[in-house]
Structure 1
Amino acid sequence: MSANAVAPERAAYYAQIARSGMSPLWESLHALVPKSPRPQALPAIWKYAQVRELVMQAGSVISAEEAIRRVLVLENPGLPGKSSLTPNLYGGLQLILPGEIAPSHRHTQSALRFIVEGKGAWTAVNGERTTMHPGDFIITPSWTWHDHGNPSVEEGGEPVVWLDGLDIPLIGHLDAGFAENYPEATQPVARPEGDSYARFGHNMLPVRHTVSDPTSPIFSYPYARSREALDTLYRNGELDDWDGVKLRYVNPATGGWPMPTMATFMQFLPAGFKGKTYRSTDSTVYCVVEGHGAVRIGEERFTFDPHDVFVAPSWVPVQLEAQSDAVLFSYSDRPVLAALNLLREERIS
């Protein structure tokens, strides 16, 4: 029977099974099981010099208290209307002004804060505060109370901006989102600043500590320590052809990722570095800490400067270059891919 003769019969059959809530797999198999990833997310960059004024203007549009979190969401152009940088990751630039409090709440989504600009503001997580400095990586574990604050101008406060990274899209896919507001604007401070780092940040653990949470017990990783480590390794001759000098943040109690759904990294690219091309099935968001350079993501080439944010979708080739000494922070959904045995990497010579 010819295809033209079969078509009306198939169309009628498809309409019949649709009324029973079914559809033919053979019509969609090629899309459901592709030969290689076909990400909807696109390579993209947000130039901080171009968006900074918009972030600062938000401070006159709405207060931190009214907004709960005064954030400009970074939306991937391939995922319009989804508040997503990648299918599993969210990113946004948050502003807190001197004298403000971003009220305490908690949610099942895990969050990271990477401090972009300004210092002296604080974040509190489960009864302990930490002071923010540019380049610090700070964790808000799933379902932990957290609030943010900034001293007044008289106390030395200044506008502070950080990059929020969350697994909001992933938790949305799983229909596992819960949230709760704390009855007061700030939670009680139960431990002095630096307590968790003293317990877990020096290659030591409290003698009777047992692991009951996959998230790191350290919630603030100072940039000064990360930068020192990268510099020492570079001076000792360590330089990977693809990554420069790249380290991953760890949970000191387990050696695993700091958060169960997001991996975090810091890397150093010396001036003149021209990396080889690589790709991976984890989607990655980068934030430039220091320096200037360029990145090729697929067919796109972007130049980057301090505080720029760019995103590399799954399985799209990436190649990094540095015009001056550069430091990049990045986060990805690698732990999820690894746990599901879906992590695949290729280093292209």
Structure 2
Amino acid sequence: MDSRHLSPEAQQQRNAYYKRIGQHGLTPLWEVLGALVPKEPRPVAQPAHWRYADVRAQVMEAGELISAAEAERRVLILENPALRGQSCITNALYAGLQLIMPGEVAPAHRHSQSALRLVLDGQGAYTAVDGERTTMKRGDFIITPAWTWHDHGNLGSEPVAWLDGLDIPLVRFFEAGFAEKADAEYQEVQRPEGHALASYGANMVPVDFQQQPQQPTRVFVYPWQRTCEALQAISQGSTADAHLGVKQRFINPATGASPMPTIGAFAQQLPAGFETAPYRCTDGTVYVCLEGQGQAQVGAQCFDFAENDVFVVPSWQTLQLRAGSRDTRLFSYSDRPVQQALGLWREQRL
């Protein structure tokens, strides 16, 4: 409220009143209304960029300092510069770089938080979800849905690193977090690799299967090779969208909804030299470059990104992407499903 025209005596009376009501756990709405109900989003998170070439050495060094068993999950958190100490990359999302060394197992556990894995570096590791393993290949988008048992292991001869994306801040906001460790270090294999993808991800489901809204997707791996083939076929048969290029969202094949109720995930292809028109939306989004290189203009900041780089676009910040000399492919994730479920999500194509 504009109190510039109040007399010193009137302002003093108000301050005394605010102090008295504060003793009863009360505060005046009119003093904070503009901040509570702003004209447009005012994100606390800032645009930020992590160059994988710069941080890879620090990730690998963690493998020399602490074991996967000791750490439970050997991860370096990507903290937004404006949210240091809060384990957030946006107000709603978490991101981290996880490392598993040859011969190690990240022990089995489960938790309320939904998680995604995006493989960046190395080969020979696996993720197991509720008794089924999938070999982790670069670019694969792997899900460990909320309250599903999962563990990771490395049967290969080289370190493997991937990006973790979780809804930890959202679950923390609702104070609804639970976690449980398994009795065994890793799960016994109950089904052959590829069983879930064949059963639920081939435009078919078992004849008596009925997906309930609260149930997690049964498809927990989206192979990068399939994603690339789809993006390439679309780009050859249609004109790229001026604001998005060729952009697809990942779904739960049984429902058409997001694979996770709290996190949306997307794959995007920009033709060589393509420049998107400015665009903004209310879901803070984490981007990863999987192929190619380019520039991201996020608000007033410009990031030159390369393969495996991560950058974040806060809510309602204008984004403009420019591909380099070859086709560029990006993966991204955001809190869009939550915002859409609550009727909050908006976009603006400038």
Common topology (TM > 0.5): yes
- Normalising TM by the smaller chain, what interval? over 0.9
**Equivalent residue number for residue 274 of structure 1:** 275
Give the number of aligned pairs.
Answer: 344
Equivalent runs, 1:133-282 vs 2, <5 Å: 133-151=137-155, 156-212=156-212, 213-282=214-283
Scaled by the length of structure 2, the TM-score of the pair is 0.97
- For the residues of structure 1 that align with 2:244 and 2:152, how far apart are their CA atoms? 34
- For the residues of structure 1 that align with 2:238 and 2:219, how far apart are their CA atoms? 29
**1:174-228 deviation per Cα after TM superposition (whole angstroms, max 9, x unaligned):** 0000001001111221111111011011111110001134432100010000000
SS at match of 2:175: coil
SS at match of 2:138: coil
Deviates more, 1:202-211 or 1:212-221: 212-221
SS at match of 1:56: helix
- For the residues of structure 1 that align with 2:333 and 2:320, how far apart are their CA atoms? 17
| Residue type of the alignment partner of 1:29 | L
**Equivalent residue number for residue 345 of structure 2:** 343
**Identity of matched residues, %:** 56
SS at match of 1:114: strand
**Equivalent residue number for residue 68 of structure 1:** 72
Is this contact kept in 2: 1:111–1:140, CA < 8 A? yes
- For the residues of structure 2 that align with 1:119 and 1:318, how far apart are their CA atoms? 33
Give the CA deviation at 1:110: 0.2
Deviates more, 1:99-108 or 1:3-12: 3-12
SS at match of 1:78: helix
- For the residues of structure 2 that align with 1:225 and 1:278, how far apart are their CA atoms? 27
SS at match of 2:106: strand
- For the residues of structure 2 that align with 1:192 and 1:60, how far apart are their CA atoms? 33
**Equivalent residue number for residue 88 of structure 2:** 84
SS at match of 2:53: helix
SS at match of 1:257: coil
Scaled by the length of structure 1, the TM-score of the pair is 0.97
Is this contact kept in 2: 1:125–1:146, CA < 8 A? yes
Q: Pick from 7, 15, 22 the counterpart of residue 18 of structure 1.
A: 22
- For the residues of structure 1 that align with 2:6 and 2:296, how far apart are their CA atoms? 52
**1:274-300 deviation per Cα after TM superposition (whole angstroms, max 9, x unaligned):** 110100001100011010100000000
Give the CA deviation at 1:114: 0.5
Is this contact kept in 2: 1:214–1:259, CA < 8 A? no
Give the CA deviation at 1:236: 1.4
Give the CA deviation at 1:137: 0.2
- Structure 2: state its 5+ residue gaps: none
- For the residues of structure 1 that align with 2:316 and 2:185, how far apart are their CA atoms? 43
Give the CA deviation at 1:238: 3.3
Is this contact kept in 2: 1:216–1:259, CA < 8 A? yes
**1:299-339 deviation per Cα after TM superposition (whole angstroms, max 9, x unaligned):** 00000000000000000000000012110000000001100
**1:127-167 deviation per Cα after TM superposition (whole angstroms, max 9, x unaligned):** 1110000000000000111000001xxxx432111000000
Deviates more, 1:4-13 or 1:90-99: 4-13
Is this contact kept in 2: 1:97–1:159, CA < 8 A? yes
SS at match of 2:83: coil
| Residue type of the alignment partner of 1:341 | G
Give the CA deviation at 1:3: 2.6
- For the residues of structure 2 that align with 1:217 and 1:268, how far apart are their CA atoms? 26
Give the CA deviation at 1:2: 4.6
**Equivalent residue number for residue 304 of structure 1:** 305
Give the CA deviation at 1:245: 0.9
| Residue type of the alignment partner of 1:89 | L
- For the residues of structure 1 that align with 2:6 and 2:157, how far apart are their CA atoms? 77
Give the CA deviation at 1:235: 1.4
| Residue type of the alignment partner of 1:163 | L
Give the CA deviation at 1:120: 1.7
**1:23-44 deviation per Cα after TM superposition (whole angstroms, max 9, x unaligned):** 1111111111111000000000
Is this contact kept in 2: 1:121–1:157, CA < 8 A? no
What is the aligned-residue RMSD (CA, Å)? Answer: 1.0
Equivalent runs, 1:64-143 vs 2, <5 Å: 64-143=68-147
Q: Does 1:57 align with 2:61?
A: yes
- For the residues of structure 2 that align with 1:214 and 1:339, how far apart are their CA atoms? 16
Give the CA deviation at 1:237: 2.9
